[in-house]
Chain A
Amino acid sequence: DTGVSQDPRHKITKRGQNVTFRCDPISEHNRLYWYRQTLGQGPEFLTYFQNEAQLEKSRLLSDRFSAERPKGSFSTLEIQRTEQGDSAMYLCASSLARTSTDTQYFGPGTRLTVL
């Protein structure tokens, strides 16, 4: 257990529905990342926050995706009008960008299945 928690662990939804995932990082970590991982692939970067500011978004993050990190603590990732292609594991990672390196610690992920 890295100390990063994600909720829910599994989500099954029907196409067209909206879903929201939550990530609680390690408490003193100021950076929070979202990645997506499909079967047989490595994680792909979606977006990241430093404190409450969203500093970078991947081109993978379509308009249907939105992420927030109010008050620089937990973060939520919302997917609107889900599509079957959104089925994947959504991983959250956090880090403490204080030294010259930025080790990212991953949570257990939320597995999304879109029917």
Chain B
Amino acid sequence: QKEVEQDPGPLSVPEGAIVSLNCTYSNSAFQYFMWYRQYSRKGPELLMYTYSSGNKEDGRFTAQVDKSSKYISLFIRDSQPSDSATYLCAWSNSGYSTLTFGKGTMLLVSP
């Protein structure tokens, strides 16, 4: 079983839609959870960072973590064409360790 599972997409939605992106993981040692956004031919950009179960909101973005189910989600409200990118989930064992990434989900938001 892979440590991290993420549907590669592409996920196509119309502008204004609510987007749900998901990842599952198998390693119980993972404690810190992140979502990165990566535009084509660019480096990843940190969107959300959390270390506890529950929801964390930042503008149009909400990160949800369920440690008991080993499942994390990113919700994007009122999606915009500028949100078209690849979204990577990532984990680390502690606040200071290296990151394990999912494969990324490509999101396409059409005007």
User: How far is B97's CA from A102's CA once the two chains are assembled, in angstroms?
Assistant: 8
| Residues on the B chain within 8 Å of A33, using CB | 98-99
Assess whether B104 is in contact with A105, with CB atoms less than 8 Å apart: no
Specify which of A44, A91, A100, A103 is in contact with B43 (CB 8 Å cutoff): A91
Number of interface residues of B (CB under 8 A): 26
Question: B90's closest neighbor in chain A, by CB?
Answer: A42
Per DSSP, are chain A's interface residues mostly helix, strand or loop, or mixed?
A: loop
Assess whether B43 is in contact with A102, with CB atoms less than 8 Å apart: no
User: How far is B46's CA from A4's CA once the two chains are assembled, in angstroms?
Assistant: 13
Known contacts A33-B98, A111-B41: A103-B103 contact under CB 8 Å: no
Specify which of B43, B95, B98, B102 is in contact with A48 (CB 8 Å cutoff): B98
Specify which of A41, A45, A104 is in contact with B46 (CB 8 Å cutoff): A104
| Residues on the B chain within 8 Å of A91, using CB | 43-44
Residues of B whose CB lies within 8 Å of any CB of A are 4, 6, 8, 32, 36, 41-46, 49, 51, 88, 90, 92, 95-104
Residues of A whose CB lies within 8 Å of any CB of B are 2, 4, 33, 35, 40-45, 48, 56, 91, 93, 97, 99-109, 111
